[in-house]
Structures are given as structure tokens and as C-alpha cells.
A and B are shown apart, each in its own frame.
Chain A
């Protein structure tokens, strides 16, 4: 996306950033809607209309503002703000490593929100989200290193200067990224912290105690996250950019498929599997780049 900002004056840039901030959740909501439609079809159901996530969002906004203490809403705002700033960093083509950090803080803010409540379900959800964070964070950092190794900079704009598809040099990193994407998006088999489907034991895990407008904000943040992560995937092939977008679409479709065909594993399994499939595989890629140069 930094492509659009390569030239132009400051005012134009700001305007574009604002447009992106407005457009992103619409796109994210649509992706979420498609997700639900496709998931329903895979399960042989009719499923909700495509715009259902937006209907839900509006409905949630109008609900009663129930709360357990006076701070929980602040953490949700932190979750949202950090996610948006991560997105802005992507749009402006800033530092990829810092973007990864900022995403982590967005997650940490959410975790703290859940843990700040005296609710057993929400607390356990928070703990489980820490485990998820623990799994995907190193891989995201290693991904940033991989990009540095190829382009010579952490700046996202440099990916465009470099021009050639990153996926040629970073196939294993790309694979590891796809793998942790499932964890980051909290999809099955790694949906410990949210337990999205109705039959799960943790009610709604980390979101148990958030309702009404707060839950709406969590949904909104999730849309930003989806667009941000898909944007990152698209950066693995920036020229021609439609290939990158196809990559992102394919990746999301893959996530939906995996979500539907797998059952939740245990957290120990996740940590072990991530150590090999995520960290291990991505490191191999980095090492070979290192040897090649």
C-alpha cells in the first residue's frame, strides 16, 4: 500500500491515510462476511447475508453499556488504537519491525482488558491469548528480519524499491507466516482464547465479559487486523500487485478451509508445533539467505 504514497505532498498523504483508515474496516467487515458465507456453505448451511457483520456491528453499538469495572473499556480502546496505528504504519510504509511490536501491544492491551476482570472465563481466555502471542510473535519478528535480509531495510517502502517478489527469496518465511496467521486470527485449530463456536467450554473466552459497544469495538479491531495481515501477505509480491492480492485472497481462503476441517489442539501441541513449523522453518529460510549472500 505504501506504493500509493511513494510520491505526493504531505497533505495528499494525510488524506490518503485517512481514506485508508475509513476503508479498511469496510473491507475487513466484507472479508468477515465472506468468511461466514463460505464457512456456512462448507458446512452445508445457507449462512447469513454477506453484510451480516455490519448488521451485528450496528446492533451491538445500540446495546446497553454493561461493564464490570471502570477500566475495561480503556483496554479495548488500546487494542483498537494500536491496531489502527499498525495499519497506518503499513500504509505509510514505515518500519516493519516496529509494526510487529505495535501489533503485539494491541494484543497485549486486549489481554490485559480480559485479565483485569474478576471473571474466571475471561481470565483464562486472557492467559490463553498470551500463549497464542507467545507462539506467533517470534515468527512475525523473524519475518521482519527476512524482509530486511532481502531488501536491506526494515522500511516497508523499501519492498517497493526492491521490486522483485519477496516470496521468491522467502518461501519458508511465507509458509511460517501463513501458519501463524491461523494463530493470530484465532482460528481453529488454534482458537484457544476465543473458542468461537457455540459448543466450546470457555463460553467466549477472552471476550466473555465484553458486550454491546465494547464488543463492537473488538469486532472493528478484528477487521483492521484482518486487513493489516492480508496487506502484509500482499507485500510478499508487490509487482505485479494483483498477484500479491491474489496471494492474500488465497491465504484467507486457506484459513477458512483449515478452520473448518480441524479440531482444536492442546496448547502444548501448539507451542511445540510452532517451534518447528513456525520458528524452525522461518529460521532455515533466514540461514539460507545468510549463507547465499
Chain B
């Protein structure tokens, strides 16, 4: 069937004389390589074959993404593939697939016995049936099915390079995970099937130009995330997966609503919706508000943050994938994509406020978290908030910040999740407090984790520079300024606390050599290399990826960062690395002393024990401050969710009122 489809598409395409055959082939490969890999993993349950498949499709996917990047930078602008060049039965494929997907979701709803899920899915079902069969909306000649521009390219690079690395990591991680879970029958075929399917759907989602197709892919990612979160089949994982499902189904309803309104306005073509000024009307903004809302749910903005936090129960590769290159990035992609349509409008202001508020709220709550994965999760939510905030502001610098942050965040966060997963298997805990002296036990993973965290925090790594750009672009909105200033300070605080713990060590002559699996080591090393490369390549990244996109949406373009500054900061960093190496090689143990303990030291020089009452040896325990009284999750979650929900309501209120009075 697939091969037939592929052949059919090619035959049709060959006849038309638009050229771009290689480009189309690559684009389809980007979608079908992971899909084929997924099917092979599902059908042939052989472990060796699975490994080979994953490795080959990963390499293939990365190669395709890089080839596309090369071709697009040669070509400039965008590659456009028209609907009429594809087989005529394709819309029917979509309709059938859509219905099948919604029926699957309905089935899940019934199986879970969750009326709310059933209700939301039913609403989508009705809306979708109406849209496809009764609304009278039809594709017209000149419709574009795929459009690959530089924003899509950035997303493809993220999905196809970071994503596969996480899947490779899972090759080494999952057997161990199943051992920890005492699973009798391996469920890895299904697991890898969904992981690869997810990548396929993402690659299609970021290149598709038709909103009805995008909705289908959007729902596929929802389904995939449900299946992945519930993978362990424990009570808690099913509960959290259900929450993810219903929250994202709300987003799905919003998406369908937007599509229906757009179809009334005459087009579901993204390229037209964001450029055609003739479409602008109060109703148009309502539809865009719905889309942004769908983006909020998928990107886990407050008050929808809890599904992403709940997703932590899934195996680590799932968290890593959801947080870095898929799922949540689909949400922010949609909003960044529509940013040109809302910039400078009241809707844009409110989108940036909701995002900005999530940025500060998530960072504040992160201060009170002890669980490493939850800290990462809140940090993700916070960064997504900043991306959305930038998209709402929408000037060239903000857009630059948003796009760069998508990349930097994906790679750093992917890396950090994989590190935490490895640490968890190594020490049997993911409580930050248990990570003292980790360097001695897991030197490799700890080093990688530290660099990952530093990349989220310090210059000249990109995340900080994007924050700087965000601030510079928010300078005309005092409320945004305030939330970004606070959020930025909170961010520094929670990273510094964790870094402080993980860097804690007392002197020891010899380190353990860590035993970790090859695939885990490879993924960590590759992502680490990526983090460092991105840091060095900030300026070229801007010049070759972001700038062409800005030009294509007719935005102003300037110079985002001062290069002298970056070089200076790099020099400092290199000097510090030099001193680390020098100090550790020239270390003299005669200078070593025990820490100050008011004279109650034992003979232990490391400072792990002290003399307690009655000559007993007690362990020294010093915890971090978590400031529960100020930033506690219980204290802030309800409050911040209410504020954020009000912000979203106001956003809708503003656009709906304009429509009603017009």
C-alpha cells in the first residue's frame, strides 16, 4: 500500500514539470523513514533487527534533514509542493484516516470510562465530520500541500537529529527499564513503534501547509503521547496519560473550531492565512485565538501544565522526547508559525502575556522542587512560555529568540533528561538531594549533566542569549518586562541550587569508571557535542536559518548579538576549563584539609561525618533551601493556574467582543 502510494505520488510528480523532485523525495523520506522503521519494529519483534532498524533510520533521518538544509539554503525561501501534484485520492485518505483516528480515541475514552474524554472526542468528531462533508469547503487549484521554509527546516532539524538520538538512547535504556519494572514480556516493539511514529508525525506536521491535515497529525501526536505515557500500564501512568489525553483533547476541540471558522473564511492554507491581509476580520482573530489555545494545551502552558508534569511517570526516553523535540514543540511551532498574523494586535499582546506568565510561574515553582525530573519539567514549561511570549511579541528580535530557543532548548533539555534517566538507573533515585558526590560515582554522566545545565544558564550558551533577546524585544511592555525579569532571576536560582549539589565532592584519588551501555553513551556524547556546537555556532545559525525566515515573512532584520561580547565570554569559559584541568593535574594531597565542623571532626577528612553527642559518629546532612513557604507547589499551583486561565479567558474575551460589536 505504502509503496504503491509512494510510486503513485512520484509518477504524478514526474509528469508535472516543476523540478524539485529530489526535494520532494527527501521530504517524503523524512516522513516515511521513521514510519517504515516504526512498522518494522512493530511487525518483526526481533531485538537485533530492531536495533539495526533504529540505527539505520536514525542515520537516514539525520542525513535527510541535513540534505534538506543544504538544498534549502542553496535554493533560499521555501520549497512548495502543490496539492494537484499529488494523487487525487489523497484527501480521501485523510478523511478516512481522520475518522479512524477519532474512533480510536473514542474507543480509548470508552475503555478508560472517562465521560469527559468521550465528550471531547465526540465534539471533535462531529466538528470534523461537518468540516469534511457538510461545510462545502473544497481544495482549490493552486493549493499547497507541503511548504518547507526555514522555520519548518529548523523544526525538521530538531526532530530528525535530537529525536533519533533519544530513540537510540532508548535502545540501551529500555531493557534495563524493563528489568527494573520486572516486566515478563517485553513491550519494546510497541514502544519503539510509537516513538518512531511520533517522529514521522512531527516531520509531517511541521511541513504541512493545510490545517485539516495538520489537525490529523496534531491528534496523532496526542494519541502517541497517551500511549507512551501509559506505557508502563501502572495505575498512576494510566491516570496521568488520561489527564494528558483530556487536556490535549480540549486543544483538539479548539483546533477543530479554528478550522471550521477558517473554512468559512475561505481557506485552510497556512501560507495564505498568515500573509493574506484580505482575510483579516474579527472572526479571523477568533480562529487564530483558538489555534493559539490549542498551542497552549500542547505546550503545557498554565493552567494545562499538569499533563506534562504527570508525563514524568513514563520511561525517561518518553519524557526526553516529549520535552525536547516533539509534542510540546508542536505547540510552540504552531504559535510561532502564526506569529506574523498576530504581531502588534491585542491578541498578540495577550498571547505574550499568557506565555510570559507561564515563564515566571513555572520558574518560581521549580525552585521548590526536589525531584530532578520535575525541575526539568518546570524548566521546560517555563522555556516554552518564553517562546510563546516571544511569538506573541512577534518583532524580528523576538521571533529570532523564539526560533533559536526552540533549537537550544530541544538539545539541552533532551540531554538533561537522558542524564537524569542514566543517573536514576545509577543511584536508584532522582531526588536532587541524593546527587551529592555524584561525580565520584558517575564521572561521565555528571560531567555531561553539568555542561547541560550550564548551557541552560550561562553565556555564551544560547539559552541565555535568547533570554537576553527576549528581554530586549519586550522592552515596550512593562508587564512583560516585570515577568521576564522575575522569571530570569528564578531560573538562575533553581539551576544554581541543583548545580551546587551535583558539583559537591570531596577529594578522592581515583574515580570509578562508569559502566554504561554503548547506546546511552553515544547519545549523551552526541547531544553534548550538539550543545557545544550550537553554542559556538550561534551567529551562523542566525545567518543561515533564522535570517532567511525573517526575510521570508517580510520582517526587519538586524544583528542580534554583539560578537565581541560572545568571544570574550568564550575566552573566559575556556580559561576556566584550562584551570580545571591544571588544578586537577597539579593537585597536592598534602594541602588537603577537612571542612570546618566546629572542631567536631572525626578522622574522616571528607566531611561526611562529625562527632555527635556521646562519641557517636553522625552523618552530616545539609539540605538545599526549597522555600516551600514562598514558592511551594501546593501554594502556587492553584493561584497561578487561575491567573493564567483568566489571562486566556481575557484573550478570548477581547477577540470575541470585537467580533460581536463589529
Complex Cα gap A116–B501 (Å): 7
B177-197 with Cβ < 8 A to chain A: none
A12: interface (CB < 8 Å): no
- The interface residues of chain A lying within 8 Å CB-to-CB of B591 are 64-67
- Which of A73, A111, A127, A131 gathers most chain B CB within 10 Å? A127
Whether A71 contacts B580 by the Cβ 8 Å rule is yes
Complex Cα gap A209–B596 (Å): 7
A119: interface (CB < 8 Å): yes
- The interface residues of chain B lying within 8 Å CB-to-CB of A95 are 468, 562, 565
Complex Cα gap A283–B568 (Å): 32
Whether A81 contacts B576 by the Cβ 8 Å rule is yes
- The interface residues of chain B lying within 8 Å CB-to-CB of A78 are 572, 576
Q: Given A97-B472, A120-B620, A268-B629, A126–B500 Cβ distance below 8 Å?
A: yes
Q: Given A94-B565, A120-B622, A209-B595, A105–B459 Cβ distance below 8 Å?
A: yes
- The interface residues of chain A lying within 8 Å CB-to-CB of B592 are 67-68
Complex Cα gap A68–B597 (Å): 13
- Which of A69, A85, A121, A290 gathers most chain B CB within 10 Å? A69
Whether B583 contacts A208 by the Cβ 8 Å rule is no
- The interface residues of chain B lying within 8 Å CB-to-CB of A126 are 500
A87-106 with Cβ < 8 A to chain B: 88-89, 94-95, 97-98, 101-102, 104-105
A241-293 with Cβ < 8 A to chain B: 268, 271, 279, 283, 286-287, 290
- The interface residues of chain A lying within 8 Å CB-to-CB of B436 are 118
List residues of A whose CB falls within 8 A of some B CB: 64-71, 73-74, 77-78, 81-82, 85, 88-89, 94-95, 97-98, 101-102, 104-105, 108, 111-112, 114-124, 126-128, 130-131, 133-134, 137-138, 141-142, 145, 148-149, 154, 203, 208-209, 268, 271, 279, 283, 286-287, 290
Complex Cα gap A268–B625 (Å): 12
Contact of A134 among B493, B503, B622 (CB under 8 A): B493
Segment at the interface with A among B334-342, B481-489, B543-551? B481-489
Segment at the interface with A among B242-250, B292-300, B418-426, B504-512? B504-512
Whether B583 contacts A88 by the Cβ 8 Å rule is no
Whether A70 contacts B507 by the Cβ 8 Å rule is yes
B571-594 with Cβ < 8 A to chain A: 572, 575-576, 579-580, 583-584, 587, 591-594
Of chain A, the residue at the smallest CB distance from B586 is A70
Whether B503 contacts A101 by the Cβ 8 Å rule is no
Complex Cα gap A10–B414 (Å): 43
- The interface residues of chain A lying within 8 Å CB-to-CB of B568 are 85, 88
- Known: A67-B591, A141-B489; 7 extra A-B contacts, CB below 8 A, are A64-B591, A68-B592, A71-B584, A74-B583, A89-B565, A94-B562, A116-B500
B3-29 with Cβ < 8 A to chain A: none
B50-94 with Cβ < 8 A to chain A: none
Complex Cα gap A133–B500 (Å): 14
Whether A203 contacts B622 by the Cβ 8 Å rule is no
Whether B482 contacts A108 by the Cβ 8 Å rule is no
- The interface residues of chain B lying within 8 Å CB-to-CB of A112 are 496, 499-500, 503
- The interface residues of chain A lying within 8 Å CB-to-CB of B583 are 70-71, 73-74
One digit per residue, 1 when the CB lies within 8 angstroms of any chain A CB and 0 when it does not, for chain B 469-497 equals 00110011010011011101110110011
Whether B572 contacts A85 by the Cβ 8 Å rule is yes
Whether A121 contacts B606 by the Cβ 8 Å rule is no
With contacts defined as CB atoms under 8 Å apart, how many contacts are there between chain A and chain B in the complex? 181
Contact of B485 among A116, A127, A138 (CB under 8 A): A138
Whether A127 contacts B579 by the Cβ 8 Å rule is no
A-B CB proximity, top 5 nearest: A115-B500, A119-B595, A118-B607, A137-B489, A141-B485
Whether A142 contacts B457 by the Cβ 8 Å rule is no
Whether B576 contacts A119 by the Cβ 8 Å rule is no
B510 to chain A, nearest CB (A): 13
Contact of A120 among B503, B579, B597, B606 (CB under 8 A): B597
- The interface residues of chain A lying within 8 Å CB-to-CB of B562 are 94-95, 98
List residues of B whose CB falls within 8 A of some A CB: 436-437, 457-459, 464, 468, 471-472, 475-476, 478, 481-482, 484-486, 488-490, 492-493, 496-497, 499-501, 503-507, 562, 564-565, 568-569, 572, 575-576, 579-580, 583-584, 587, 591-597, 606-608, 620, 622, 624-625, 627, 629-630
Complex Cα gap A187–B500 (Å): 24
Complex Cα gap A249–B595 (Å): 39
- The interface residues of chain B lying within 8 Å CB-to-CB of A98 are 459, 468, 562, 565
- Which of B437, B587, B594, B607 gathers most chain A CB within 10 Å? B607
Q: Given A108-B492, A130-B496, A68–B507 Cβ distance below 8 Å?
A: yes
Q: Given A74-B576, A119-B595, A279-B486, A133–B496 Cβ distance below 8 Å?
A: yes
Complex Cα gap A134–B507 (Å): 31
Whether B503 contacts A115 by the Cβ 8 Å rule is yes
Whether A77 contacts B569 by the Cβ 8 Å rule is no
Contact of B489 among A67, A68, A115, A133 (CB under 8 A): A133
Of chain A, the residue at the smallest CB distance from B577 is A74
- The interface residues of chain A lying within 8 Å CB-to-CB of B459 are 98, 101-102, 105
- The interface residues of chain A lying within 8 Å CB-to-CB of B484 are 141
Whether B482 contacts A279 by the Cβ 8 Å rule is yes
B596 to chain A, nearest CB (A): 6
Complex Cα gap A149–B593 (Å): 52
Complex Cα gap A123–B597 (Å): 12
Whether B481 contacts A134 by the Cβ 8 Å rule is no
Whether B475 contacts A104 by the Cβ 8 Å rule is no
5 examples of A-B residue contacts, CB within 8 angstroms: A70-B507, A77-B576, A95-B468, A134-B489, A141-B489
Complex Cα gap A85–B571 (Å): 10
Complex Cα gap A81–B579 (Å): 12
Whether A101 contacts B468 by the Cβ 8 Å rule is yes
- The interface residues of chain A lying within 8 Å CB-to-CB of B620 are 118, 120
Contact of A138 among B486, B576, B594 (CB under 8 A): B486
Complex Cα gap A131–B489 (Å): 10
- Which of A66, A95, A116, A142 gathers most chain B CB within 10 Å? A116
- The interface residues of chain A lying within 8 Å CB-to-CB of B630 are 268, 271
Q: Given A77-B579, A94-B562, A101-B459, A69–B507 Cβ distance below 8 Å?
A: yes
- The interface residues of chain A lying within 8 Å CB-to-CB of B595 are 68, 117-122, 208-209
Complex Cα gap A117–B505 (Å): 6
Complex Cα gap A111–B495 (Å): 11
- The interface residues of chain B lying within 8 Å CB-to-CB of A108 are 457-458, 492, 496, 499
Whether A69 contacts B505 by the Cβ 8 Å rule is yes
Complex Cα gap A94–B591 (Å): 41
Of chain A, the residue at the smallest CB distance from B436 is A118
Whether B629 contacts A81 by the Cβ 8 Å rule is no
Whether B587 contacts A70 by the Cβ 8 Å rule is yes
Complex Cα gap A259–B579 (Å): 36
Complex Cα gap A116–B620 (Å): 15
Q: Given A68-B607, A119-B595, A134-B490, A154–B472 Cβ distance below 8 Å?
A: yes
Complex Cα gap A88–B501 (Å): 31
Complex Cα gap A84–B523 (Å): 37
B503 to chain A, nearest CB (A): 4
Contact of B475 among A77, A101, A145 (CB under 8 A): A145
- The interface residues of chain A lying within 8 Å CB-to-CB of B464 are 101
Q: Given A95-B565, A97-B471, A115–B504 Cβ distance below 8 Å?
A: yes
Of chain B, the residue at the smallest CB distance from A114 is B500
A81 to chain B, nearest CB (A): 5
Complex Cα gap A154–B580 (Å): 34
Of chain B, the residue at the smallest CB distance from A129 is B496
Whether B472 contacts A137 by the Cβ 8 Å rule is no
- The interface residues of chain A lying within 8 Å CB-to-CB of B575 are 77, 81
B562 to chain A, nearest CB (A): 6
A27 to chain B, nearest CB (A): 22
- The interface residues of chain B lying within 8 Å CB-to-CB of A68 are 506-507, 592-595, 607
Q: Given A111-B500, A112-B503, A70–B584 Cβ distance below 8 Å?
A: yes
Complex Cα gap A98–B569 (Å): 11
